Amino acid sequence: MRERGRAGAFRESVTGADVELAYAGFDRFLKGEERAFDDVDDVDAAVVGVPYDGAVSNRPGARYGPAAIREASGWWAYISDYKGGLTNMQTGKNVDFGNLEVADCGDVPVFPMDHETTAESITAHVAALAAQTFPVLLGGDHYCTFPSVRGFAEGRGYDSVGFVQIDAHTDTVSESPVFGTEFHGSSTAQIADTPYVDYENVSQVGIRGYESPDFFEFADETGLNLYTMREVEDRGIGDVVSDAVEAAADGTDAVYVSFDIDAVDPSVAPGTGTPIPGGLSAQQALETMEVLGAHDAVSGADLMEVSPRYDSTEGTQRLAAYLLVTLLERAFAE
């Protein structure tokens, strides 16, 4: 008791003792308060990690993404705490992170050899958060987005959800002869197969690389809102994302955003399992989150496919954290 009292007295008497350095303390997203899943109804957003990559088709390692993103987010927690009110030099806006309250609920239970039970776990935990606040999922491979969207809809009691996917790939493969029906290339197909999401309210931004020979016909037939990287370059990222979120929001109860880090060019974000050249710049990725965070319909989000062991510079997880900070800042702190 004597030592605890002495420590408390020191913290109270020494200026700056309450500032937690970026690299100090326990790793929590934005150094938010640790909370139980049923105790987040008084915060703006609640973060949960899914350290699972059992559904990848290329390089594994996204299981380490949640921890890496949390650690990287410490920098923004530090400067916001240390400096108080800030001016965002990207947007020119004043930001008060004191208005943003984020809780970190830790990781959901995952079952590395059982994707179905893992999916049930994700759905249950995201539903618990969504019933109370804005859920933020740290992945994990992109398969995890399917049960997360399902949990988001069920937790909120929504009939219809719009889905904005920032990605290099469409993930619309309904079945693969190698990977079956449950892998990270099938997540959007499974999302569109739920009662909550129709392809007419699915918007995909940054698509590039290769899809099936008849993919454009598929997009036309289903009503999928497709915005390739060529269109991004021709029109500008701001206009494209504005159109994408409006299409997803049209006639739906809310919009869920999924950002696959491989949407960003691998020269900028190499730490991912399926890198494709020709992607978004860091500036375009940040502007994407600015637009999405400012839209009233956006009510849940995830950041997927960060595989930190492929990036010795740690730049990929740093950008991933910055993207989520940007989204939450626009939504709650301006």
Sign of CA dihedral 140, 141, 147, 148: positive
* Positions at the binding site: 142, 167, 169, 171, 260, 262
What gap in Å lies between CA 48 and CA 127, rounded to an integer? Answer: 11
What gap in Å lies between CA 286 and CA 284, rounded to an integer? Answer: 5
Residue 116, both tokens:
């179905």
Instruction: Find out whether 126 and 146 touch, Cβ atoms under 8 Å.
Output: no
3-state secondary structure of 24: coil
Q: How far is CA 324 from the centre of its chain?
A: 6
Q: What is the DSSP letter of 35?
A: -
* Positions at the binding site for Mn(2+): 142, 167, 169, 171, 260, 262
What gap in Å lies between CA 122 and CA 264, rounded to an integer? Answer: 25
Contacts of 22 (CB under 8 A, 6+ apart): 74, 75, 77, 78
Instruction: Find out whether 16 and 59 touch, Cβ atoms under 8 Å.
Output: no
User: Helices (H) and strands (E) in the chain — how many of each?
Assistant: 10, 11
Closest CA to 293 of 306, 308, 303: 303
Closest CA to 247 of 145, 304, 164, 318: 164
Closest CA to 160 of 221, 202, 223, 203: 202
Instruction: Find out whether 299 and 264 touch, Cβ atoms under 8 Å.
Output: no
